Amino acid sequence: MTGGLTGRTIVVTGAAAGLGRAIALRLAADGATVVAADLRSSDSTVEAIVAAGGVARAVTVDVTSASAIESLIEEAAGVTGRLDAVVNNAGRFGGSRILDTTDEEWDHYLDVNLRSTFLMTRAAIRRMVDQEQRDGVRGRIVNMASQLGITGPPAALGYAVAKAGVIQLTRQVAVDYGREGIVVNAIAPGRIITGDHPGEREYLDEGTIDAATEFSLSRTPFSRLGVPEDIAGAAAFLVSDDCRFVSGAVLAVDGGWTAY
């Protein structure tokens, strides 16, 4: 593969499926060596990348574990001696209203969506700050937020608060490490149809629209919902050399949902 990311090593978490898989495929197509990390096996993602002529390796990791993340970053940086970017995409959607939210549920959504982003970002930057600059940049971080971290969705307390935290973590770290050449941005996807969530396969295969999909369409100025490649394109920009004076930004990729 040749492209703008040739010679770059990039970690993508949650790369076994959905948005993470699409991001991994896109970055590899742009020339990056992709470290596809997930709780589940990312072998099928790596196989698809290799079949297309790209370079990738799969790592099984729980992104809520600090020690597992240290190993992941070490392994990724060992590929070329440099860690160019990480895409903190792994996360889980769900939750409830506050009176139905148990301590365990709260901890779960904060852990998998926010603490994981904190741990990954800290471990990556610790490594990146000692790297040589390329065009003023030592490394790039892309955090997967959500439109639901900006708006107030019904009955998704833990998730929404965690994603709002991801947005503020993005801004904070961008400010704190700008002088060191660390570029940090977030993507806030709207409703993206991956085919993996309830009702989505029927929507894709038969055009059947359930209540959740109908609601999403009603809130989206575009006449369609998002596809994983919409997010992959945004990630490809945010890890590229073209992204060198954009930091602390939250890029809404939502067909206009949050502008409505």
Identify residues 198-257 at the interface with ligand NAD (CB under 6 A).
none
If one asks whether residue 139 binds ligand NAD (CB under 6 A), the answer comes out as no
**What is the phi/psi pair of residue 121, to 5°?**
-65, -45
User: Distances in Å between the alpha carbon of 53 and those of 28, 45, 49, 163?
Assistant: 9, 13, 7, 35
Rounded-to-integer distance, Cα 140 and Cα 184, Å: 6
Name the minimum Å distance from CB 177 to ligand NAD: 22
Rounded-to-integer distance, Cα 145 and Cα 165, Å: 9
3-22 footprint of ligand NAD as x/- string (CB under 6 A): ----------xx-xxxxx--
Cβ nearer to ligand NAD, comparing 137 with 157? 157
Name the minimum Å distance from CB 163 to ligand NAD: 7
Which residue stretch of 60-68, 128-136, 206-214, 233-241 sits at the interface with ligand NAD (rule: CB under 6 A)?
60-68
Rounded-to-integer distance, Cα 165 and Cα 237, Å: 23
Name the minimum Å distance from CB 62 to ligand NAD: 5
Residue sitting closest to ligand NAD (CB): 18
Cβ contacts of 104 within 8 Å, gap of 6 or more: none
Name the minimum Å distance from CB 103 to ligand NAD: 19
Instruction: Give the residue ranges of DSSP H helices in 129-227.
Output: 157-177, 200-206, 211-218
The answer to whether residue 159 is catalytic is yes
> Three-state SS for 38?
strand
Residues near ligand NAD (CB under 6 A) = 13-14, 16-20, 38-40, 61-64, 89-93, 112, 144, 146, 189, 191-192, 194, 196
User: Which residues are catalytically annotated?
Assistant: 159
